């Protein structure tokens, strides 16, 4: 019996590893690498040498387009020979550098074994006009699509989502990498209640310590130190010194995402002095005794003191004082929305999420999937 079980186990392991999920083989191999992201360069070099040339339809049946971002589109396809449904990320060669594609693919592959990060099949190729790689198909909407404007999503769903994304980000950071594009559009849902969510889109991910000389444009999720190297319209050069990519950039973005999904508002448009909403929050952060109710900026009055303490740490203006993403887990047992707001908001959010209502986007009218380019 024991021998039989061993054979069954070995057979299943073989099937799982070599037939369905070739990616696991790679992951086990590369887990031996250093936690400073240095293995990514080697993986990129090897992938470049073996990148096959084929047209999408030679290997896949295209069912439909299921998503689009600034850099590419995502197609629902089935593998022609195995029938497996997959999400194929397709990036036009005209607007994608080979190195950028290789970095995104190799970083995604390196991290895809985490349960809260989108899985990969180990399939990457180039066609005449595109670079492509196959991802696990996540059949649900992305988080942006389920946010009720001015309302958000139920606090219980927010907390489930927050714990999973914190775990994914801790994993990324432990590998010496930074995601750099944490936002609701890049969080994929397997169900409407955030019981299972997955972080996707490593298109801007980089090794910790990489220097950014400038970015073009800003997003509400970008930390103030990142906004100092943003080239605004009409500006020719940036005067601030280059910025080192650090996990604290993800911590800030994560804090902004939590605000957005709890409220259905962006807290500000950008973290610059010219933005009044940001200024109000920054003034509150700089106060010596920030717990006085009357000092709290209007948009933030709906939160409990415990939630404000958490936001104060995730969104610390001083990078050195900003907490790690994992610290949110110490706050999940506490209430985040004050009862009067909470009950009202929960009821609307729960009603809407039960009816599958699609709200479009958050109240501040900023289009989803607008991203900034790094030099």
Query: If binding is defined by CB under 6 A, does position 116 make contact with ligand ADP?
Result: no
Does the footprint of ligand ADP cover residue 137 (CB under 6 A)? yes
Q: CB of 167 within 8 A of CB of 114?
A: yes
Q: Which structure tokens are listed for 226?
A: 């990142």
Residue keyed to tokens 């993403």: 325
Instruction: Decide: is 186 part of the binding site for Mg ion (CB under 5 A).
Output: yes
Q: Which of Mg ion, ligand ADP, none interacts with 27 (beta carbon under 5 to 8 A by kind)?
A: none
Give every CB contact of residue 335 below 8 A, 6+ residues apart in sequence: 155, 304, 306, 307, 342
| C-alpha span between 136 and 145 (Å, rounded) | 20
SS3 62: strand
SS3 for 61?
Answer: strand
- For residue 328, state whether it binds ligand ADP (rule: CB under 6 A): no
Q: Which does 192 bind (CB under 5 to 8 A by kind): Mg ion, ligand ADP, none?
A: none
**CB 362 to ligand ADP: min, Å:** 15
Could you give the 3-state DSSP secondary structure of residue 374? strand
Residues 224 and 229: their CA atoms lie apart, in Å, by 9
Q: How far is the CB of 119 from ligand ADP (least distance, A)?
A: 8
Please tell me whether 89 is known to bind a ligand: yes
Contact region for ligand ADP (CB under 6 A) — 137-145, 162-170, 313-321, 354-362?
137-145
User: Is 295 part of the annotated catalytic residue set?
Assistant: no
**Structure-block tokens of residue 75:** 């197609």
Minimum distance, C-beta of residue 182 to ligand ADP, in the bound complex (Å): 12
Using the 8-state DSSP alphabet, how is residue 249 labeled? H
Q: Identify the residue among 12, 68, 209, 358 touching ligand ADP (CB under 6 A).
A: 68
- Torsion of Cα atoms, 154 then 145 then 259 then 193, to 10°: 30
**Which member of 36, 41, 142, 181 is catalytic?**
181
Q: Does 225 help bind ligand ADP (rule: CB under 6 A)? A: no
66 binds, among Mg ion, ligand ADP, none (CB under 5 to 8 A by kind): ligand ADP
Q: Which residues bind ligand ADP (CB under 6 A)?
A: 66-72, 74, 87, 89, 118, 135-138, 142, 185-186, 188, 200-201, 203, 369
Q: Which residues are catalytic?
A: 181
């Amino acid at each position: 019996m024991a021998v039989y079980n061993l054979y069954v186990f070995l057979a299943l392991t073989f099937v799982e590893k070599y037939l369905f999920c070739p990616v696991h083989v790679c992951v086990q191999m590369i887990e031996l690498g250093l936690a400073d992201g240095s293995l990514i360069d080697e993986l990129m070099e090897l992938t470049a040498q073996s990148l096959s040339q084929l047209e999408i339809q030679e290997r896949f049946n295209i069912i439909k387009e299921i998503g689009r971002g600034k850099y590419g589109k995502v197609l629902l396809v089935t593998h022609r020979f195995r029938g497996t449904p997959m999400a194929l990320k397709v990036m036009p060669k005209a607007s994608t550098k080979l190195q950028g594609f290789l970095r995104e693919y190799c970083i995604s592959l390196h991290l895809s074994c985490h349960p809260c990060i989108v899985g990969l099949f180990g399939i990457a190729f180039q066609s005449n006009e595109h670079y492509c790689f196959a991802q696990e198909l996540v059949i649900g909407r992305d988080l942006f699509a389920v946010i009720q404007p001015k309302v958000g999503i139920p606090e219980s769903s927010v907390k489930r989502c927050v714990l999973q994304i914190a775990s994914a980000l801790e994993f990324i950071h432990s590998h010496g990498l930074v995601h750099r594009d944490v936002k609701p559009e890049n969080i994929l849902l397997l169900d409407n209640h955030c019981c299972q969510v997955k972080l996707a889109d490593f298109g801007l991910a980089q090794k910790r310590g990489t220097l950014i000389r400038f970015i073009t444009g800003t997003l509400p999720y970008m930390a103030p130190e990142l906004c100092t190297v943003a080239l605004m319209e009409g500006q020719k050069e940036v005067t601030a010194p280059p910025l080192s990519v650090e996990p604290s950039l993800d911590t800030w973005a994560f804090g902004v995402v939590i605000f957005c999904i709890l409220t259905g508002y962006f807290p500000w448009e950008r973290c610059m002095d010219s933005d009044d909403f940001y200024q109000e929050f920054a003034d509150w952060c700089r106060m010596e005794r920030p717990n006085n109710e009357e000092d709290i900026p209007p948009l933030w009055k709906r939160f409990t003191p415990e939630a404000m303490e958490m936001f104060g740490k995730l969104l610390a203006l001083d990078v050195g004082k900003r907490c790690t993403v994992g610290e949110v887990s110490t706050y999940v047992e506490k209430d985040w929305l004050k009862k009067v707001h909470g009950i009202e908001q929960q009821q609307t959010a729960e009603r809407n999420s039960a009816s599958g209502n699609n709200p479009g986007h958050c109240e501040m009218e900023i289009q989803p999937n607008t991203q900034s380019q790094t030099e």
